[in-house]
A and B are shown apart, each in its own frame.
Chain A
Amino acid sequence: MLQTVALSCSRGERHLFSDVSLTVMPGTLLAVMGENGSGKTSLLRMLSSLLSPNGGAILWEGKDIRQLKELYCAQLTYIGHLNGIKEDLTPIENLKVAACLAGDESSGAIVQKALEAVGLRQSAHRLPTRVLSQGQKRRVALARLWLSTRPLWLLDEPFTSLDAAATRYLTQRLQSHLSNGGMVVVATHQEVALPTDSVQHLRLTG
């Protein structure tokens, strides 16, 4: 269970949000919505422990994540706006490295399956990521979700540059993660097409 208590955030002089208290239970997805610049990305970065809160605390299973440190990192998969992939490496190499570093299984067959699951054409698997389209790069980044066995997923605008098919694949993957007792926090502008009883909303007003 992920919880925040009276979380507040300001970047430089700018005040983004304060007193955000939320609870994400296993099997639920929290959709963080709000205008551009309302602090969605900052909230996600705080939840991922990349950014330390200006006030309040973030609790994982009741313990402050600042104390848990690496133990907390081992519970989450974070996909930010930046894809976090190397343009000079092929999608397969990128995923293998990412999975190896994250401690997930990184055999060739599993990586290949993840890329197929996210709908990346076979012919693109062995090209340098540099020559792929934006949407294909995003798919490579998101393919990590098919390898991840972590309970908490933090996704920043995962649907940007995805086409209808890829959006569907991703939604299905989120659904299966939730039904396995996983937790998802997603910053998004669009409604996530999931059963309403598993989706909560948080609107940041800025």
Chain B
Amino acid sequence: MSRPSMCEALRGVVRRDLLLAMRRRSDVAMSVFFFVIVASLFPLGVGPEPAVLRMIAPGVLWVAALLACLLSLGRVFTADYLDGVLEQMLLIPQPLAVLVVGKVFAHWVISGLPVVLLSPLLGLQFGLGGDSLGVLTLSLLLGTPTLSVIGAIGAALTLGVRGGGLLVALLVLPLFIPVLIFGAGAVTSSLAGIGSEANLSLLGASFLLSLTFAPWATAVALRIALE
């Protein structure tokens, strides 16, 4: 009997999740629209003063991205848990953490990547200049995968729990704080004309750190949820 390579299983999981997302485009669109609408409400509420908007832009855009990610976290494992696919996934003769990485990657492509791609457009609404727009996009590109990786732990821990959606927020939002500080900090420092490299490096470092540990924690949480 042939044992599939780890990469093949990883590819299989990613392909399935992306195919499913294609079949349910409305779910995908929901978190993206949420991001766009929340970020667009602020200029309307605060008023069109360019200096004020530029000042709040990094924080607002980052918080909006973070909430959009949170909104879609519930979907990472719930459907698979309910239809028994997760059970089958646990029995695949590959390390579960590898499959978790596949699911998280698919989640990021579906909910994180659109946010990254749309962020320059929304940045323009806040009057961000060319350099800052670049830093904003780059910081989101480095930061949103971290949100997905860490968020997956929360999603796995609250699997099958009543009112899980709210609990995920309570569990995961505090863990998102460092990412928010470094991400918004990078944009702020670029606005102030100071280099943003330090913040971006820290974002990169937190991504690598979370990618090393979070999938194992998620795998353990999934096994517990299915006992």
Contact = CB atoms under 8 A, between A and B. Distances in A.
Interface stretch (B37-45, B80-88, B161-169): B80-88
Given A49-B91, A93-B19, A74 B83 contact: no
A84 interface: yes
B95 interface: yes
Interface in A41-68: 48-52
Nearest to B83: A82
Contacts of A206: none
B1 A103 contact: yes
B13 A80 contact: no
B1 A86 contact: no
Shortest beta-carbon contacts, A-B, top 7: A82-B84, A74-B93, A103-B4, A84-B84, A88-B23, A73-B93, A84-B88
B interface SS class: helix
Contacts of B94: 70
Contacts of B8: 100, 103
A102 interface: yes
Contacts of A98: 88
A71 interface: yes
Contacts of B24: 88
Contact of A89 (B12, B13, B20, B89): B20
Contacts, number: 80
Chain A interface, DSSP helix/strand/loop, else mixed: loop
A89 B23 contact: yes
Contact of B91 (A76, A88, A149): A76
A48 B1 contact: no
A103 B89 CA distance: 12
A73 B83 contact: no
A74 B3 contact: yes
B84 A83 contact: yes
Given A76-B91, A100-B8, A84 B85 contact: yes
B90 interface: yes
Nearest to B92: A101
A93 B95 CA distance: 23
Nearest to B84: A82
B44 to A, nearest CB: 37
B23 A97 contact: no
Is the interface on chain A under 10, 10 to 19, 20 to 34, or 35 or more residues?
20 to 34
Contacts of A88: 20, 23-24
B9 A101 contact: yes
22 contacts: A50-B87, A50-B90, A50-B226, A50-B227, A70-B95, A78-B91, A80-B87, A82-B83, A83-B83, A85-B84, A86-B16, A88-B24, A89-B19, A93-B19, A97-B16, A100-B8, A101-B4, A101-B9, A101-B88, A103-B3, A103-B8, A149-B1
Nearest to B4: A103
A45 B91 CA distance: 11
Interface in A71-125: 71, 73-74, 76, 78, 80-89, 93, 97-98, 100-103
Contacts of B15: 97
A206 B19 CA distance: 44
Contacts of B1: 74, 103, 149-150
A102 B4 CA distance: 7
B80 to A, nearest CB: 8
A101 B5 CA distance: 10
Nearest to A49: B91
B143 to A, nearest CB: 30
Contacts of A85: 83-85
Interface in B56-112: 82-85, 87-95
A100 B226 CA distance: 23
Contact of B85 (A71, A86, A102): A86
Nearest to A84: B84
A52 B226 CA distance: 11
Contacts of B90: 50
